C-alpha cells in the first residue's frame, strides 16, 4: 500500500513536472506574438503573426538589414519554431527632384536681358545676382543714362553702379 | 519713407504730369517707381529730375520703369540707335535671326508689344519683325 502510494506520488510528481516543462517549453502563440511584437517595436512597419510556434513576419522595410534584424529578433524569441520572413524590402522613395531654384532662374532671365542691352555699351560690364544688376567699367554720362533707363525697364531689385566711372 | 522724401520732387512730377498706374514702393532700400507716362517728353522730364536729385544715377537707390503710353499698336516709332542700323529679328531675342534692318532715325510702325523689351514693328519698306524697344521712341 505504501509502495503503491509512493508510486502514485512519483507518478503525480513526474506528471506535474512534465506538465510544467511542457508549459514552459511551449509558450502560447499569443505570448510569443506579444514578445516578438515588443522585440520588433524598434523597426516600424513590421507585423508578426504566430501560429503553432511559427512566426510569420510581414510588412515593408527600407533595407535588407532591417529585414534580417527582424527575422533574428523573432528567431531568438523563446518558443518560436521557425520564422517565415515575408517582409518586403522597398527602396525608400527617391528624394523629390530639387525644386528649381527660383532665384537662380530669375537671375538667368534677367542676365539674358541685361546682356542684350549691355553688349551695345562697350567698356561696361554687368553682372546679375539676386536680382541686383552690378555695373562696372566707365562710360560717358549720356550713355550711362540710356543704359540705366534700359536696365530699370528690366525691373531689377537694384542697379548698383558704385563700380562705374562716369566720364 | 526717407527715400520718398529724397525723391519727392520726382514723385510729385510724375503725379502732376499724369503718369498712369503710378506705383512707388520702397523695398530693401531701393525706391521702385513704375508707371506709364502720357508721352515720351514726360518720361524724359522724369529722368532729368531723377538725374538732378541723384547725379549720374550712381546711388542705386531708385529703379524707375516708366513706359510711354503712346507706344501702342499703330504708333509711329523713331529708331534712336547711337548711329547704327537697328536689327529686326524673326523672334523676340538676340539669338533670333535678323530678318531686316531699320536705319538710324528711320520711322517705323509698331504692330504690337511682345514685352516691355521686344516690340513687333514694320518698316515702310514692309519688313516685319521684332526690335529692341530700347532703340524705339514714340514719335509725338
Provide the shortest C-alpha distance from residue B30 to chain A (in Å).
Answer: 7
Residue A19: half-sphere exposure toward Cβ, Cα within 13 Å: 6
> Does A153 contact B56 at a Cβ distance shorter than 8 Å?
no
Contact residues on chain B for A113, CB-CB shorter than 8 A:
117
For chain A, percent of residues with pLDDT exceeding 70: 82
What's the CATH number for B76-138?
Answer: 2.30.30.40
Region B34-52 average pLDDT: 93
CATH of B2-68, one of 3.30.70, 3.40.50, 3.60.21, 3.30.160: 3.30.70
> Does A150 contact B134 at a Cβ distance shorter than 8 Å?
yes
Largest CA distance in chain A: 134
Please state the domain count of chain A. Answer: 2
DSSP string, A9-26: HHHHHHHHHHHHHHHHHS
Provide the shortest C-alpha distance from residue A143 to chain B (in Å).
Answer: 9
Residue B17 CA, distance from chain mean position = 16
The answer to the question of residue A131 being in a domain is yes
Show which of A67, A94, A121 is a domain's final residue.
A94
Residue A122 and residue A148 in one domain: yes
Chain B interface includes A147 (CB < 8 A): no
CB proximity under 8 Å: A 120-139 to B: 120
> Does B117 contact A113 at a Cβ distance shorter than 8 Å?
yes
Alpha-carbon span A97 to A104, nearest angstrom: 16
Provide the shortest C-alpha distance from residue B32 to chain A (in Å).
Answer: 8
DSSP string, A68-108: HHHHHHHHTSTT--EEEEEEEE-PPPPPPPPPP-HHHHHHH
Q: Is residue A157 over pLDDT 90?
A: yes
Show which of A76, A94, A112 is a domain's final residue.
A94
pLDDT of residue A11: 66
The answer to the question of residue A14 being in a domain is no
| A132: closest chain B residue by CA | B60
Chain B interface includes A165 (CB < 8 A): no
The answer to the question of residue A63 being in a domain is yes
Residue A79 and residue A119 in one domain: no
Alpha-carbon span A106 to B67, nearest angstrom: 22
* C-alpha separations of A51 from A22, A27, A65, B82 in Å: 17, 11, 25, 91
> Does A113 contact B82 at a Cβ distance shorter than 8 Å?
no
Least confident of A15-19, B7-11, B74-78, B83-87: A15-19
Residue A31 and residue A81 in one domain: yes
Residue A88 and residue A142 in one domain: no
**CB neighbour class for B56 (10 Å; exposed up to 12, middle 13-18, buried from 19):** middle
The answer to the question of residue A20 being in a domain is no
Give the domain CATH number at A74.
3.30.1340.30
> Does B65 contact A153 at a Cβ distance shorter than 8 Å?
yes
Q: Which of A73, A41, A68, A42 is nearest to A55 (CA)?
A: A73
pLDDT of residue A19: 56
Residue A106 and residue A158 in one domain: yes
> Does A152 contact B65 at a Cβ distance shorter than 8 Å?
yes
> Does A155 contact B94 at a Cβ distance shorter than 8 Å?
no
Question: Do residues A79 and A50 lie in contact, with contact meaning Cβ atoms separated by under 8 Å?
Answer: no
Q: Which is higher by pLDDT, B49 or A17?
A: B49
Cα–Cα–Cα angle for A101, A105, A108, rounded to 5 degrees: 140
Cα–Cα–Cα angle for B18, B19, B22, rounded to 5 degrees: 135
Alpha-carbon span B68 to B78, nearest angstrom: 13
Region B18-46 average pLDDT: 93
**Which helix (H) or strand (E) segment is B15 a member of?**
helix B8-16
Neighbours of B100 (CB within 10 A): 19
The answer to the question of residue A19 being in a domain is no
Residue A34 and residue A54 in one domain: yes
- A32: cell is 510569443
The answer to the question of residue A1 being in a domain is no
Q: Are strands A158-166 and B20-27 parallel, antiparallel or unpaired?
A: unpaired
Give the domain CATH number at A116.
3.30.70
What is the interface pTM, i.e. ipTM, of the complex? 0.82
The answer to the question of residue A5 being in a domain is no
pLDDT band at A159 (very low <50, low <70, confident <90, very high): very high
Q: What spatial distance separates the first Cα and last Cα of chain B, rounded to whole Å?
A: 35
Alpha-carbon span A124 to A139, nearest angstrom: 7
Residue A74 and residue A47 in one domain: yes
pLDDT of residue B83: 83
Alpha-carbon span A102 to A107, nearest angstrom: 9
Q: pLDDT tens digit string along A114-148?
A: 998 898 888 999 999 999 999 999 999 999 999 99
Provide the shortest C-alpha distance from residue A153 to chain B (in Å).
Answer: 5
List chain B domain ranges: 2-68, 76-138
Residue A120 and residue A89 in one domain: no
The answer to the question of residue A10 being in a domain is no
Interface residue of A141, A148, A155, A163 to substitute, partner B, most B CBs within 10 Å? A148
Range of the domain at A121: 102-166
Provide the shortest C-alpha distance from residue A125 to chain B (in Å).
Answer: 15
Q: Is residue B75 over pLDDT 60?
A: yes
Amino acid at each position: 500500500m505504501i509502495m503503491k502510494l509512493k508510486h502514485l506520488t512519483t507518478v503525480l510528481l513526474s506528471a506535474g513536472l512534465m506538465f510544467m516543462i511542457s508549459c514552459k517549453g511551449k509558450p502560447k502563440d499569443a505570448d510569443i506574438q506579444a514578445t516578438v511584437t515588443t522585440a520588433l517595436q524598434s523597426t516600424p512597419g513590421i507585423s508578426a503573426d504566430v501560429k503553432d510556434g511559427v512566426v510569420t513576419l510581414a510588412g515593408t522595410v527600407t533595407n535588407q538589414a532591417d529585414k534580417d534584424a527582424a527575422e533574428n529578433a523573432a528567431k531568438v524569441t523563446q518558443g518560436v519554431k521557425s520564422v517565415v520572413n515575408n517582409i518586403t524590402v522597398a527602396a525608400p522613395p527617391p528624394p523629390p527632384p530639387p525644386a528649381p531654384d527660383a532665384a537662380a532662374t530669375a537671375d538667368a532671365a534677367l542676365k539674358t536681358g541685361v546682356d542684350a542691352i549691355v553688349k551695345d555699351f562697350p567698356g561696361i560690364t554687368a553682372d546679375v545676382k539676386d536680382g541686383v544688376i552690378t555695373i562696372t567699367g566707365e562710360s560717358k554720362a549720356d550713355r550711362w543714362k540710356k543704359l540705366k533707363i534700359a536696365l530699370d525697364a528690366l525691373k531689377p531689385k537694384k542697379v548698383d553702379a558704385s563700380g562705374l566711372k562716369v566720364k | 519713407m526717407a527715400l520718398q522724401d529724397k525723391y519727392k520732387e520726382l514723385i510729385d512730377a510724375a503725379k502732376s504730369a499724369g503718369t498712369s498706374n503710378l506705383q512707388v514702393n520702397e523695398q530693401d532700400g531701393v525706391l521702385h517707381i513704375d508707371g506709364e507716362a502720357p508721352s515720351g517728353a514726360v518720361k524724359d522730364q522724369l529722368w532729368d529730375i531723377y538725374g538732378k536729385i541723384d547725379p549720374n544715377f550712381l546711388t542705386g537707390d531708385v529703379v524707375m520703369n516708366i513706359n510711354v503710353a503712346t507706344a501702342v499698336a499703330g504708333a509711329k516709332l523713331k529708331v534712336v540707335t547711337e548711329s547704327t542700323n537697328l536689327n529686326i529679328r524673326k523672334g523676340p531675342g538676340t539669338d533670333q535671326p535678323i530678318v531686316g534692318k531699320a536705319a538710324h532715325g528711320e520711322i517705323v510702325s509698331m504692330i504690337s508689344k511682345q514685352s516691355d523689351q521686344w516690340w513687333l514693328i514694320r518698316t515702310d519698306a514692309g519688313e516685319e519683325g521684332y526690335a529692341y524697344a530700347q532703340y524705339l521712341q514714340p514719335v509725338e
